[in-house]
Structure 1
Amino acid sequence: MAEDVIQVADGGEQIAPVPRISLQAFCETPELASVIADAAEDRRMDKAHVRVQMGGAPGAVEAYRSAPTPNVVILETVGRKGEILGHLDELAEVCDATTKVIVIGQVNDIVLYRELMARGVSEYLIGAPDVLDIIRAVSGLYASDGAKPVGRTLAVIGAKGGVGASTIAHNLAWAISRDIGVDTCIADMDLAFGTGGLDFNQDPPQGIADAVFSPDRVDTAFIDRLLSRCSDKLSLLAAPATLERVSDLGPEAFDPLFDILKATVPSIVMDLPHAWTGWTRRCLITADDILVVAAPDLANLRNAKNLMDLLRASRPNDTPPRYVLNQTGLAKRPEIKPTDFAKALEAEPIAVIPFEPQLFGTAANNGQMIAEMEPGHRVAQQFTDLALALTGRHDTRRARPGLLGPLSPLLEKLTQLRKKA
């Protein structure tokens, strides 16, 4: 359903990743060549093989006289209407029929646009497109009409071991599914020591390891069999939590799994282990949103800053990573204040969660979430607020103004009459 599609926080938009394609751009200005080169480095273009060269449409015609055409060609032209159409006619003689063409020009004319479409051009961009314009145009070539939007991934990782990142991830996923009403999947990616099964009181015979170690079997039906149902809108891909296998995986080991999940589940929460491997780095960089969990001490501050700096540099076109300060207010422990954390990381924490050992310990031992055990507790509300902030959605448990708004005065009068009675 459309309402199940998770929205991008801060009013952004969702651009689907580009599939494994070959793309060649022929530019006439160094400015556009630089923009396309930057777009090629974006996480959504990670699977595309991009080559940028100068020469414009004439250069493309000359190049393809003796070489096969790629899946997508981007042509920049600074000429007038007649020149643009003439170059395209020449290109049609040497271009494969299956190649998609994006033209970038300066002429803003509806007649030209129609003639370009009639010649088989897939997209016409006017002016000076930015990085996201290029990515959006290429992505749009492969987004089928009426297809369900791609699911959104949220990667949660601890700045240090033992800071409660998994607990945050699990309670956050619960809040997204229960309070916002979005179908959510938790992927417990700590294959050897994951706690997802314990926290949700689940013991499935299969889980995420079956998908990772058998990538040739991964399809929608296979993933559905691996999912363990935690509630109506929450599923778990549990880790085996055994030491029979080591996790020396390749950087792209989880790609087939998440390609399927993003096509079927609106929200995926990735519970990443505190480790720095090729696949953890890739999962972080390619995630739609990132949440770093840190405790208020010096080691966490250093590690969180290193993570935030690297991720900001690696994802210049995405929402910056956010962080949570967890386990604050521990008696007799010297702590770094949230304001000092914010100054060092150049960002305010999205939440500051207090140290509540009785609450969290009891919930973990019972296999429950905080909101299940004590729904009225302030920490439970913090997880709801955190889910709302990260998804840009609204709490579905609250009354809709459009439905109850007109009845509010009447309800208030009835309440007053009851009190008087």
Structure 2
Amino acid sequence: MGKAQHAMNADPLLDGQDPFLAADEVEALLLGEGPVAEDNTAFGAGTDQIDPFVADAQSVADAPAEVNPAFEELRDEIAAAGLTMPAGEALYGEIDSEIPDQPVPRISIAAFCERPETGALIHNAADDRRLAKAHVTVELGGLPVAIERFHDESTPNLLIVESGMRGRGLFDQLEQLASVCDPDTKVVIIGAANDITLYRELIKRGVSEYLVPPMSPLHLIRTISELFLDPEAPFAGKTISFIGAKGGVGSSTIAHNAAWCLTEGIHADAVLMDMDLSFGTAGLDFNQDPAQTLGDALSEPERLDEALLDRLLVRCTDRLSLFSAPATLDKDWEFAPDAYDSVLELVRRQAPYVILDLPHLWLPWVRQTVIGSDEVVITATPDLASLRNAKNLIDLVHSARPNDEPPRVIINMAGTPKRPEIPVKDFADALGTAPVLVLPFEPQLFGKAANNGQMISELDGRSRAAEGFSHLAGVLTGRAPAAMPQKSFLAKLFGG
């Protein structure tokens, strides 16, 4: 999880002139003491406007004469961070008892705040157990900094932006933000105006939620949970199956490198599942030797829950988790397709992307997994056997899922010396689809990476293969890698 960043500069909003922002008066209201002003809604909003998080002034005045313990806890947390606790972050009324216990999946969250107090609040929320899997970063600067940041970077799964602006200025900046946002990014705005008309207009423009202070860390957690844990449509990561047209074409190597580039270049979280139980190489490629593997989960799928799954997954990087294969021959590893289904269903709740490294076998569970995947990537070498098998796979998958994208094809080890090859153009014409990537034969580079337990981009980030894997990650996610060079060999590799 990224560390929250807090500026210590003075906040112009807290000038001490607004009686609502006086801490002693807020505590008096919490205790049910003192008169209630005619307009003490947050930031002077009208009384006919709705704040979903704050009880109205009269109900606060009528509340029992005791301070909510969460108010004291939040005040202590912000004081420990060296910040001042503003009244706008006070907790009014009861803590919501319906905050879901299910943790938010491994998503990336970036927050851009105008006030350090808001940053402290989001930082406190990020420390909650429900956000333990999420990667949260907090910066000051609000909308302008967010717009500037994502000109050259992919946006996270969730973007939280604070803005005190109202009217045309706010909408103009939101349009600029929309122009740099990826289509699947959800946006939450923390604003100053408690205005139902503004709320409706923002929702109409694609904003996922609009919040106004006062609020607590639990309120923010509830908002995030509702965006990603809808009980009517549980969160499920995108599954991408990698399978070879025949054995030895390098499908596993491509799957592992694509997973690494997806997490390190796209900055998305992913789980890599090595489903070749007898001969899987993901553990070797990532220098991991876990005691428990996918075989343990498949042996007793009914016992698998999120807590056990967390223990079975191995962290390769901050964003990439590995579900390793046992890679032993002392068992037959024969499981019903339903066992694979139930394990995969649970893994999909863990991260936005699930990379499936499938063995070159045609068993009922392999067929079921391929057809049920969101994306299918077929790796082939430019020879007749690969052409035939790849064509059969494409036809089968396309007929089983006519409304989905056809499988993507990668031609690997092109240009192998002294080996007769089918030209790429003829190969593509026979398949009826152009390859998304053509990787040259580079035995020294790939052999050294395999022996070192490294990915190609770690070993030589400037190589054509590294650029190819970065391109592939962008194609599979629809998002541009952060470090994509402006001029490269991509045109030669991809025919563009």
TM-score (norm 2): 0.52
Shift of 1:251: 2.0
Q: Does the Cα contact within 8 Å between 2:457 and 2:466 map onto a contact in 1?
A: yes
Aligned to 1:289: 375
- Match among 279, 282, 291 for residue 193 of structure 1: 279
CA displacement 1:372-418 (0-9 Å, x = unmatched): 1111111101100011011101223469xxxxxxxxxxxxxxxxxxx
- Taking the aligned partners of 2:271 and 2:236, their CA distance within structure 1 comes to 14
Q: Does 1:275 align with 2:355?
A: no
**Matched letter for residue 362 of structure 2:** W
CA displacement 1:339-390 (0-9 Å, x = unmatched): 1111111000000000100000010000000001111111101100011011
- Match among 431, 441, 465 for residue 345 of structure 1: 431
CA displacement 1:29-65 (0-9 Å, x = unmatched): xxxxxxxxxxxxxxxxxxxxxxxxxxxxxxxxxxxxx
Q: Does 1:323 align with 2:409?
A: yes
**1:5-404 mapped onto 2 (5 Å cutoff):** 5=157, 144=230, 149-397=235-483
- Taking the aligned partners of 1:296 and 1:238, their CA distance within structure 2 comes to 30
- Taking the aligned partners of 1:168 and 1:5, their CA distance within structure 2 comes to 25
Q: Does the Cα contact within 8 Å between 1:152 and 1:266 map onto a contact in 2?
A: yes
- Taking the aligned partners of 1:145 and 1:262, their CA distance within structure 2 comes to 15
- Alpha carbons of structure 1 residues 5 and 274: separation in structure 2 relative to 1, 3 Å: farther
Matched length:
268
Q: Does the Cα contact within 8 Å between 1:184 and 1:265 map onto a contact in 2?
A: yes
**Matched letter for residue 330 of structure 1:** T
* Secondary structure at the counterpart of residue 339 of structure 2: coil
Shift of 1:247: 2.8
- Taking the aligned partners of 1:158 and 1:12, their CA distance within structure 2 comes to 31
Q: Does the Cα contact within 8 Å between 1:328 and 1:352 map onto a contact in 2?
A: yes
* Secondary structure at the counterpart of residue 419 of structure 2: coil
**Matched letter for residue 171 of structure 1:** N
- Taking the aligned partners of 1:315 and 1:197, their CA distance within structure 2 comes to 32
- Taking the aligned partners of 1:230 and 1:261, their CA distance within structure 2 comes to 16
- Taking the aligned partners of 2:361 and 2:379, their CA distance within structure 1 comes to 14
Aligned to 1:131: none
TM-score (norm 1): 0.61
Structure 1 unaligned spans of 5+: 15-142, 400-421
Q: Does the Cα contact within 8 Å between 1:153 and 1:288 map onto a contact in 2?
A: yes
- Alpha carbons of structure 1 residues 246 and 198: separation in structure 2 relative to 1, 3 Å: same
Percent identical among aligned pairs is 49
**Matched letter for residue 298 of structure 2:** V
Shift of 1:149: 3.7
- Alpha carbons of structure 1 residues 13 and 393: separation in structure 2 relative to 1, 3 Å: closer
Q: Does the Cα contact within 8 Å between 1:194 and 1:241 map onto a contact in 2?
A: yes
- Taking the aligned partners of 2:452 and 2:350, their CA distance within structure 1 comes to 30
Structure 2 unaligned spans of 5+: 1-107, 110-154, 159-181, 186-228, 486-496
**Matched letter for residue 401 of structure 2:** R
Shift of 1:261: 1.3
- Flag the structure with more relative contact order, 1 or 2, with Cα contacts below 8 A and sequence separation at least 6: 1
Query: Which structure 1 residue ranges, 4+ long, deviate > 2 Å from structure 2?
Result: 1-6, 11-14, 143-149, 396-399
Q: Does the Cα contact within 8 Å between 2:252 and 2:357 map onto a contact in 1?
A: yes
- Alpha carbons of structure 1 residues 4 and 286: separation in structure 2 relative to 1, 3 Å: farther
**Matched letter for residue 230 of structure 2:** S
CA displacement 1:125-152 (0-9 Å, x = unmatched): xxxxxxxxxxxxxxxxxx8269774200
**Matched letter for residue 172 of structure 1:** A
- Taking the aligned partners of 1:245 and 1:5, their CA distance within structure 2 comes to 40
- Taking the aligned partners of 2:353 and 2:370, their CA distance within structure 1 comes to 16
Shift of 1:12: 9.6
Shift of 1:4: 4.8
- Taking the aligned partners of 2:465 and 2:399, their CA distance within structure 1 comes to 32
Q: Does the Cα contact within 8 Å between 2:242 and 2:251 map onto a contact in 1?
A: yes
CA displacement 1:169-211 (0-9 Å, x = unmatched): 0000000000000101110000000000000111010111111
